[in-house]
Amino acid sequence: MPITIPSRKTVIQDIKNRGGMVAAVLPIHYPRALLRAFEIFPVEVWGPPRVDVSLGSAHLQSYVCSIVQNSLSFIKMGELDFASLILIPHTCDSLQGLTSVLMDLVKPRPPLFSLYLPRGQREEGVVFLAAELRSLYAGLSELTGRKPTDAELLAAIEREELSDHLLARLYAQRLTLGLGNLDFYRLLRSREYLPAEDFAALAESALQTQVAPQSGTPLMLSGILPEPMAVLDVIEKVNGLVVADDLACCGRRLYQPGLSAEPFRRMAESLISAPPDPTRGNPISERVQYLTDMAAKSGARGVLFYDVKFCEPELFDLPELRRALKEQGLASLNIEVDINNPLPHQTATRIGAFLEMLNH
């Protein structure tokens, strides 16, 4: 049975109609629970397509990825003026550069906040990130005049942890949900803008459906995000079945619950628990192990690296990553896209040829 998912615009309008505050959040890792403790609803911005890119390119180099180019254009068009604040994690140099442009040149109407993320998964990183979250708490408190208690923070954390748990269950049961590639990822990506309790209700509804496992050539996706999302239909039309992913907007945000009773440390522990991610400086060896383990568990015969053009963290790892996976017997294909453009016919042809090769 199809699942009805409200659009971003509908969700934003509903929040505004109820007098709520909205945070426009850029990729990738950030503390949803901290925002919600302040009654601020996060809505993620992944470089919306179909914008006038000339507005952003006036301030950015031509080789900056389309997520950043489009996001700046979107901001200059006034499309984020509805937000009470903009939050930009330090995910990569391009997003840090965007923060500088917004602070020094463009100066958007909503207040701007940044968040520095530690590299790797060490104890020092947990301590650093907890301190960053306390600093963000202070800024949000100044903006809103509120000071959520530890109990309120922990309640927000538990609400997000439940949604993270349900997200993991969707992954575990993906082949028996009766959802095609596109519908499955539409459901997953609704986590980008739905309040946690609304996403949890959708996920629980989807998990009630149990059908015979789907069939098709099993494929793993890796990269930042599946945009244009027509790529998922293309895969399905050539009998491909996405059985696992290492996408920044989805699979790289399968967070484990934190263990600490102290709310800031607990949020930090959870964020740092995410799977290996080039934007957080995880060694390539960790990514190779993670991807080969995932392929073995899911039965994926190959990996489609579906990358945003000029995404430096992704592209730096790619040659060594693909070589190591090939040594493990895992074939791969790399495709680069500009999310502002329609999916080229050539891309569809290459995906079809790759899947045909996996079947022989």
The pLDDT tens digits of the residues spanning 279-301 come to 999 999 999 999 999 999 999 99
Q: How far apart are CA 221 and CA 66, in angstroms?
A: 20
Mean pLDDT value across residues 72-80: 91
333 has a pLDDT exceeding 90? yes
Cα separation, 47 vs 130, whole angstroms: 28
pLDDT the model gives residue 57: 85
Is the confidence at residue 149, as pLDDT, over 80?
yes
**Mean pLDDT to the nearest integer, 92-107:** 90
Identify the pLDDT of residue 52.
87
Q: Residue 119 has which token pair?
A: 């590299």
Residue bearing the bigger pLDDT, 339 or 269: 269
Cα separation, 137 vs 119, whole angstroms: 21
DSSP for 67-95, written as a single string:
HHHHHHHHHHTTTTTT-SEEEEE--SHHH
Rg (the chain; Cα; Å): 20
User: pLDDT by residue (tens digit) across 41-62?
Assistant: 999 999 888 888 888 888 888 8
The pair of three-digit structure tokens given for residue 185, joined into one six-digit string: 């990822």
298: alpha, beta or left? (left if phi > 0; alpha if psi -120 to 50): alpha
- pLDDT at res. 1: 54
Q: Kindly indicate the confidence band of residue 360, based on its pLDDT and cuts at 50, 70 and 90.
A: confident
The answer to whether the beta carbons of residues 245 and 218 sit under 8 Å apart is: no
Q: 237: which 2 tokens?
A: 């039309």
Residue owning tokens 């509908």:
10
Express each pLDDT in 150-179 by its tens digit. 999 999 999 999 999 999 999 999 999 999
In the predicted model, what is the mean pLDDT of the chain? Answer: 94
| Confidence grade of residue 106 (pLDDT, cut at 50, 70, 90) | confident
Q: Tens digits of per-residue pLDDT, 195-239? A: 999 999 999 999 998 898 888 999 999 999 999 999 999 999 999
Instruction: Give percent above pLDDT 70 in the chain.
Output: 99
* Cβ contact 30:13 at 8 Å: no
pLDDT at position 215 is 86
**Cα gap 249→54, rounded to integer Å:** 26
Mean per-residue pLDDT for 298-325? Answer: 94
pLDDT at position 2? 66
pLDDT of residue 178: 92
